[in-house]
Structure 1
């Protein structure tokens, strides 16, 4: 007996992609295409950026 497992081994099956039953979400397609995301920084982010910019300014100290 050569190889007994050949007959009982799982057969190779080619699977095709199933047809989509419902249409895709058009909003998700538009968001994936680009241009989606936050458009403007919120107030806290702007305040933090201004605070950091203020710290970067040179301090003018007049010494006599």
Structure 2
């Protein structure tokens, strides 16, 4: 049991999440917890809709 205490445990990582050599071994866990892309906010969606309306050619029927 003494040898296990001397050797740090290794993290298993999926092939898609392979990391390069890390200087700080504690940082590996933090890198794996990093968040992915977030959805756009309400402001970005509203601005995109406004741009789409400006691009659209509105035709008025009389």
TM range (shorter): 0.3 to 0.5
Structure with a larger share of its residues in helix: 2
TM value normalised by structure 2: 0.45
- TM-score normalized with structure 1 length: 0.44
Pick the structure with greater CA Rg. Answer: 1
Q: RCO higher in 1 or 2 (8 Å CA, sep ≥ 6)?
A: 2
